[in-house]
Amino acid sequence: MENSELIQERCVCNLIIYTVQSGDTLSGIAARYGVSRETLIDANQLSYPNRLVVGQALVIPEVGGDLHTVARGETLFTIAEQYGTTVEEIMAANPSIANPSILYVGQQIVIPGGTAAPAESIDVNGYAYYTMNRDTLARTLPDLTYLSIFSHDARPTGRLADIADSSIISAAYSAGAGPIMVVTNIKEGGNFDSGLASWLLTDETTRDRLIDNIVSLAVEKNYYGVDIDFENVYGGDREAYNDFLEELSEELHEKGLILTTAIAPKTSANMRGILYEGHDYAAHGRYADRVTLMTYEWGYRFGEPQAVAPYNQVRRVLQYAVTEIPAGKILMGIPNYGYDWIIGSSAAATVVSNYGAVNIAAQNGAEIFFDETAQTPYFNYRDSSGRRHQVWFEDARSIQAKMDLVREFGLAGVSFWHIGTYFAQGWEVLTANFLVNKLPSPR
């Protein structure tokens, strides 16, 4: 995890991702790119604008022009001629170009007066607890295709635990996002339960009752669709799970509703382990309209410090997934959080928000590093008791790497777990890369 040579900036459509260098100030960066301090503070949720962290990623929005990628042999004069502008105007729009005679192949420069906009559109799903803060929800809904509301837990009788979800359903539709009813095998008062899933899937009477209850409740509450998030399913119950999905899919589609599922991140059909054995990628791809790959939790609370969603591991999952599931149905999971581990301790890691992680670095004088293999930022610090900590989280650079995977594999889109904390950089990067599909009209 050595701090390898970092690219200082990367241009995306109408946005630059800049890595803070020693000696940088927010005012200096704002002046360099011709934006206001307030714009940078808002786009990056900066709690400490006068205390930037070396290695911190900043998004520079509102670049205001088309982007041109420099090819071999090009000069600013030939580029200006191509776009009907002048070298002086290009220089004014690109304060980071210190010498107009020096360009490099692959460099992206802003062409003034352009109207750059993402050309591709994707589906964006966000999982949300029905109790989530409504201000955060309002800020996030414009960038969602689906809002998956967590959760209606299945009971052993086949009935569903009810939740107070009417207001969040209405809010979703008002913003052009389809509310999805999440159904889980979370045991009452507990966690995802293998035995509960087994009973629900294998007892024919209970399974039929569960399907009837799911469909009738989804229709009654005016949901757009249903998400089945059954986890820790026994390998021996895989075929029963497939049959359940087939029957549920037919019933939902007859009512004009969609079916989505959430499945563990597998790299082969026969991966061993309770997380994987009950999930049949091909069957989910056959019966579900969208499939969320839960591509996160490599770094988890009780594990060793590492990236939560490392690029190399996520890519391995996608390479397998597209051989079993149509790419146009896949939503790649993205974690909206990080972890703070105490090195050498058996204590569980603390969940941190992505902007909160940067605040911890600022408060403790840490330097942020970027792991090139995992494409994820991390840093180390000591607390007031002298204990060593390591923090891994997501930033604009790691989100951009994930957007590149969406484009590379031609995926339907992405799915965030979960949207309870607003992550400005994440949404800035996503909407700089893609348009977000919305419902054609409110229901």
- Return the active site residues: 231
Q: Determine the Cα–Cα distance for residues 258 and 254; give it in Å rounded to an integer.
A: 10
Q: Determine the Cα–Cα distance for residues 274 and 246; give it in Å rounded to an integer.
A: 22
β partners of residue 405? none
> Could you tell me which of 65, 101, 102 has the C-alpha nearest to residue 84?
65
> Could you tell me which of 34, 140, 174 has the C-alpha nearest to residue 426?
140
Residues 6+ apart with CB under 8 A from 263: 279, 281, 284, 291, 292, 293, 294
Burial 27-50 (b: 16+ CB within 10 A, else e): eebbeebebebeebeebbbbeebe
Residue 208: CA atoms inside 13 Å, Cβ hemisphere, count?
Answer: 2
3-state secondary structure of 127: strand
8 A C-beta contact, residue 291 and residue 263: yes
Residue 311, H or E segment: helix 311-324
> Could you tell me which of 196, 394, 192 has the C-alpha nearest to residue 311?
394
8 A C-beta contact, residue 403 and residue 59: no
Characterize the bridge pairing of strands 9-12 and 15-19.
antiparallel
**Alpha helix stretches (DSSP H) within 151-289:** 166-174, 194-202, 204-220, 238-254, 281-287
Q: Determine the Cα–Cα distance for residues 437 and 443; give it in Å rounded to an integer.
A: 16
